[in-house]
Structure 1
């Protein structure tokens, strides 16, 4: 069961959060965890707000239907997302998800604080997915290169030595011929890139958020100190 209190830290609508979490709890897969949930806040009537939830595997879009009796859910996995962003406006912010294919998904009237944290959570998960994907691709390339070297080395084995002695010449005048074996240059395996440790990765992501002016210098320094203290 998902605890509701951790998703009410930024003045999210408690009724909307409770309703959405009740549905999402049955939709999460093995080892999937919700990280952040933002609730739309319209400037006039906000009876049926949309919600956006970020997990470590995907983004959920939750839209009430039939006057709030039912709810429509749409999820997008990280491998199909190109980028995420947000734009602050007079009434809240727009959260923008750019898929690899198709039109952008734009949700308006997200409170500014929630939009910033929603973007931060989504950005970190997207970057984490890409890093894992790169490591997997590097491992595949190393395996393919090692397989190529093994095949080349195996091809040089069991090449016979040929000794040809003309039948009309004495044994002492025998002429031996040796076939020339072309040299095979071994293909060195690609250097193994060691992944960054967790502390370095957190500091780099924190600096990226600061450079994009998504957090203030005070927030940056405070978070940086927390990360270094936990090292």
Structure 2
């Protein structure tokens, strides 16, 4: 499995041992693993990043996994399409029933078999990948994104963005109207690259606007904060 936007997994788990086990289990298979040790940290990462699968403990130091799942569902409508796998030491039937009633996709009790765990996670990510392949083109305002080729079109015009430029524009356009700080954009687009800074975002936005030409106003500056894609959410549709 190649690393791409469909392989970002969020692990919310306060046990360093479990974090290590999960990290090793999912290494080398094209997964980007983000880790949080508290519910608050997990919720923050969930709001700032595009997450494809959540591994969630029930017993967290500042909340429990059930309440956190509710907060996530209320925070982002997309949560209903993100698989949630409870990873917990609680083996009681009532906890399992509660988890599945809330919409969990799986329930794994610790300790678990690492090989089976990895297979379950990869299977769920593969289903996401296949689903996305069936729906790879969407329109935001007057421009069309082709996710399979990472190209953007204005009518018949191929706007020719680099991979990073495409990722930046796509990240903004997927949530039209939402204001992203420079730090949020750096984390989402560049990840852990230590050689990028706040002004890196500004430079790429300037290039985006130049290439967008008459559509340059779609990427709007928000003074003192960052940037947003200006088209109305109703203008975005899959095609």
Name the TM-score, length of structure 1 as normaliser: 0.31
Radius of gyration: which is bigger?
A: 1
- Which structure has more helix as a fraction of its residues? 2
Greater RCO (Cα-Cα under 8 Å, separation 6 or more)? 2
